[in-house]
Amino acid sequence: MHLSLSHDMLALTIEEDSKTFYYLQNIADKNFQKKIGRKDKMIIFKEQDELVQRRYFLKLISKIYLRKTGNVQQSHVIENSLDKSIKISLLKSNQVLQKMNINIDIEDNYAVVFHMGSHNTLFASYLKSYFKDHLVRIRPKNGTITLYPNSDVTVRLLEKLLAQKELFGCFVEFSYAMEDFLAYKKSFIAKRAKRSRHNALFSLLEEYFGILGCKFEDSFEIIRRNYLALVKKYHPDSCGLYDGDLHVKYVAKFQEVQNAYEMLKMHFKHLEAKSA
């Protein structure tokens, strides 16, 4: 019995023990809805409302694994894999592991296309589960699966997938142009950096608008009107020199208002220049 783990899947290969495999397959058929498989292979995907039976199923697999291998540590790993998909395969001595050759193209430095040659239901279901929260379009007629990215998380997941050498009991070989993949990865890193800078700028601008008692959608006329009212209110001369503490507070507030106004004035000038 062989165990392998990835960040999202627990894969168990049962060698020369059809009885144990079909026993587990029968239990899975009765207890899990989101499941695919065939005669010698099955994958059970995680469902929130099946956690109870999933916990018991993993305990059962853990006990079987411990009995067959004596490996206590790995049996505990199995028991604690509630967040992973479960793949169980049956391998017989005269059975040669299938090899999948998958060609990958990156279209317009955006969509990732997996060319299978023919439709593969197991791999298609696996990709949809692996790239959850992504749009995955399956085209059975031409044997392709297209993945549409949603963030730089896509690239990290793709990197881990391409490092795989075995999937659901098959040897897998991904063929792709390394230069294209590196350019794809670089473009997402650049987008993430740009987004980080944009978010930082947005936070600063939001703070400046708040200092002047304005909303982000307010016009420059409203900002200037509020600014004039605030500098009049917090001008150091307005509180007199007799109250030292109050004078210090007015000076600090006055400078804060002045700085916020100057920054927003620059921001609006930049917007005008861009739209011109």
Calpha distance 138→119 (Å, rounded): 9
Average pLDDT, stretch 99-110? Answer: 86
Q: What is the mean pLDDT of residues 76-102?
A: 80
Task: Provide the whole-model pTM.
Answer: 0.45
What pLDDT does 227 receive?
93
User: What's the distance, Cα to Cα, between the start and end of the chain in Å?
Assistant: 69
- As a whole-number percent, the residues of the chain with pLDDT over 70 amount to 91
**Cα atoms found within 13 Å of the Cα of residue 199, Cβ hemisphere only:** 6
pLDDT at 212: 92
Tens digit of each residue's pLDDT (9 = 90 or more) over 9-51? 888 888 878 888 888 888 888 888 888 877 778 888 888 888 8
Average pLDDT over residues 97-108: 83
- Sequence-ordered alpha helix ranges (H) in the chain: 18-31, 51-69, 72-79, 121-130, 152-162, 178-211, 220-234, 244-275
Spatial CA neighbour of 104 closest among 94, 95, 93, 117? 117
